Structure 1
Amino acid sequence: MVRRTLLHAGAVVTVGTISQGTAHAGAGPYGPLLPADADGLALPQGFSGRIVARSGRKVAGLTWHAAPDGGACFPDGSGWIYVSNAEVPLLGGAAAVRFRADGSIAAAYRILSGTSLNRAGGATPWHTWLSCEATERGRVFECDPYGERAARPRLGMGRFRHGAVACDPEREAVYLTEDEPDGCFYRFRPRDWGDLTEGALEVLTGGGGWREVPHPAAPSEPTRYQVRDALRFNRGRACHLADGVCSFTTRGDDQVWSYDGALHRHEAMHGPLFVAQDGAVEIDVITRDGAVAPFARLAGRRGAELSGPAFSPDGGRLYFSSRRRGSGVAAGQVFEVSGPFERG
Structure 2
Amino acid sequence: MDRRAMLRATVVGAGAVALPFTAWSAAYGAPAQNAVGPYGGLQPADANGIQLPAGFASSIVARSRQTVPGTSYTWHDAPDGGAVFPNGTGWIYVSNSEVSAGAGGGASRLVFNSSGAVIGASRILSGTNNNCAGGKTPWNTWLSCEEVSLGRVFETYPLGGTSVARPAMGRFKHEAAAADPVRRAIYLTEDETDGKFYRFVPTTWGDLSAGTLQVFRAGTATSGTFTWATVPDPDGSPTPTRQQVSGAKTFNGGEGCHYADDTVWFTTKGDNRVWQVNLAAGTYELAYDDNLVSPGTAPLTGVDNITGSTAGDLYVAEDGGNMEICMIRPDDKISVFLRITGQSGSEITGPAFTPAGDRLYFSSQRGTTGSSSGGITYCVTGPFRR
Aligned to 1:275: 316
- SS of 2:343's partner is coil
**2: distance between equivalents of 1:176 and 1:202?**
10
Aligned to 1:200: 212
Q: In structure 2, do the counterparts of structure 1 residues 209 and 292 end up closer, same or farther at CA, with 3 Å as the change threshold?
A: closer
- Give 1:164 shift: 0.6
- SS of 2:168's partner is helix
Aligned to 1:158: 170
After the TM superposition, which of the residue ranges 248-257 and 192-201 deviates more from structure 2? 248-257
Higher strand share: 1
Matches within 5 A, 1:1-344: 10=11, 23-24=33-34, 26-59=35-68, 60-90=71-101, 91-146=104-159, 148-206=160-218, 208-270=226-288, 273-277=314-318, 278-288=320-330, 291-324=333-366, 329-343=372-386
Contact 1:279–1:304 (CA under 8 A) maintained in structure 2: no
Which of structures 1 and 2 has the larger relative contact order (alpha carbons within 8 angstroms, sep 6+)?
1
Contact 2:12–2:260 (CA under 8 A) maintained in structure 1: no
Letter in 2 for 1:233: F
**2: distance between equivalents of 1:174 and 1:11?**
16
- SS of 1:132's partner is strand
**2: distance between equivalents of 1:324 and 1:210?**
37
- SS of 1:262's partner is coil
Structure 1 unaligned spans of 5+: 1-7
Percent identity (aligned): 50
- Give 1:95 shift: 0.2
Structure 2 unaligned spans of 5+: 1-7, 14-23, 220-225, 289-311
Moved over 3 A (4+): 8-12, 270-273, 286-293, 325-330
**1: distance between equivalents of 2:370 and 2:331?**
42
- SS of 1:269's partner is strand
Q: In structure 2, do the counterparts of structure 1 residues 114 and 203 end up closer, same or farther at CA, with 3 Å as the change threshold?
A: same
TM-score computed with the length of structure 2 as normaliser: 0.80
- Give 1:11 shift: 5.2
**1: distance between equivalents of 2:379 and 2:61?**
7
State the Cα deviation string for residues 99-136 of structure 1 (Å, max 9, x = none): 00011111000000000000000000000000000000
Contact 1:86–1:117 (CA under 8 A) maintained in structure 2: yes
- Give 1:293 shift: 3.3
Contact 2:49–2:342 (CA under 8 A) maintained in structure 1: yes
**1: distance between equivalents of 2:378 and 2:214?**
37
Q: In structure 2, do the counterparts of structure 1 residues 336 and 199 end up closer, same or farther at CA, with 3 Å as the change threshold?
A: same
Contact 1:284–1:294 (CA under 8 A) maintained in structure 2: yes
- Give 1:330 shift: 4.6
**2: distance between equivalents of 1:328 and 1:44?**
28
Contact 2:107–2:123 (CA under 8 A) maintained in structure 1: yes
Q: How many residues align?
A: 329
- SS of 1:324's partner is coil
Contact 1:66–1:330 (CA under 8 A) maintained in structure 2: yes
- Give 1:150 shift: 0.9
Q: In structure 2, do the counterparts of structure 1 residues 327 and 53 end up closer, same or farther at CA, with 3 Å as the change threshold?
A: closer
Letter in 2 for 1:30: Y
- Give 1:137 shift: 0.5
Contact 1:93–1:111 (CA under 8 A) maintained in structure 2: yes
**1: distance between equivalents of 2:210 and 2:100?**
28
Letter in 1 for 2:52: L
**2: distance between equivalents of 1:47 and 1:231?**
41
**2: distance between equivalents of 1:285 and 1:216?**
35
**1: distance between equivalents of 2:60 and 2:380?**
9
